[in-house]
Structure 1
């Protein structure tokens, strides 16, 4: 019972941290602000997450769990049809997308606590995407790209569209544009021979 309550409290803290980071960015997000949102002192929050960096990693891991459906195998989550669904889902949750994008942007600086997380995540994503594309298309997609060429392009377009959409949501159709990109890399549809 105590373990379940501890886990519930950790989830509550992570969700509050997502909100605070979305509002203020990682550097501006104080542990005290997160603690206040969940009715704890800063010292009480440190019982659950001993450092701000540990809380940040928990936020990023939780976001990935949301994106991959929790129990879905990572490789399965990167199928092109599921990627299009993920982009649609992201268009319905700007706060999470903003938090992820802000942390991603900040993480490119030396010494940022999320730098290693994002470097490892991108390596895993590229590898999983390439494996999924290879299983579906073989060594070449209909567009002529290899799975290893297409995988980083998919990740770059997804994240780049998020930045553009956050800056001008009324001008950027993130799901529609991503589907158009999928059409480009997957090549023209097979001709009906009937």
Structure 2
């Protein structure tokens, strides 16, 4: 990814997080990054396209952060590390929750994106849990219920932290709660990175 493209995405993250999709204009993003409207449109031909690229940018940054970690050996720890990373980068959690708020009121493209994303995440988690544990986990939960519970826990933590940023305990809460949901022991080893607030 070019430096200019990444710079636009970072600026757009901040603007979308502050104003939401409806309240954000290409002009506002261009002003934030010091380009003309056409300069932004050269890389992102529409506001909807820019929004979708932002969400992919967020996922890519998370994957990069986890690239040195043996992902999959300690799922509770993996999720805790993702939460710690996102709390170190509040714009990711903020733009995600702005999207959810707009989805609740039926605003497009947020509503369609969030609905499809939620279904995709839960389906993916269910498949992975079945691959690893079968239809029923060591905790006694069936795979679909566990996947939904994991997803809800992650979503809730994002929201709670945004209204109480002094609370830095959430990565450990995720680690311990997911260990209980999955029916696994809390793994030893390094704790998730401390949040910067």
Pick the TM interval, shorter chain: 0.7 to 0.9
Matched, 1:45 2:40: yes
5+ residue gaps, structure 1, are none
Matched, 1:26 2:2: no
Q: For 2:7 and 2:88, how far apart are their aligned partners in 1? A: 21
How does 1:174-185 map onto structure 2 within 5 Å?
Answer: 174-185=170-181
TM-score by length of 2: 0.80
Matched, 1:92 2:92: no
- 2:108 aligns to what SS in structure 1? coil
TM-score by length of 1: 0.81
Q: Is the 8 A contact 2:139 2:180 kept in 1?
A: yes
Ranked by relative contact order (alpha carbons within 8 Å, sequence separation 6 or more), the top structure is 2
> Could you report, residue by residue, the CA deviation over 1:140-169 in whole angstroms, capped at 9, with x for unpaired residues?
112111111111111111011110111012
Deviates more, 1:140-149 or 1:63-72: 63-72
Whose radius of gyration is greater, 1 or 2?
Answer: 1
5+ residue gaps, structure 2, are 187-197
Show the counterpart of 2:100.
104
Matched, 1:143 2:139: yes
Deviates more, 1:99-108 or 1:179-188: 179-188
Runs of 4+ in 1 over 4 A off after TM superposition: none
Give the number of aligned pairs: 182
Deviates more, 1:23-32 or 1:147-156: 23-32
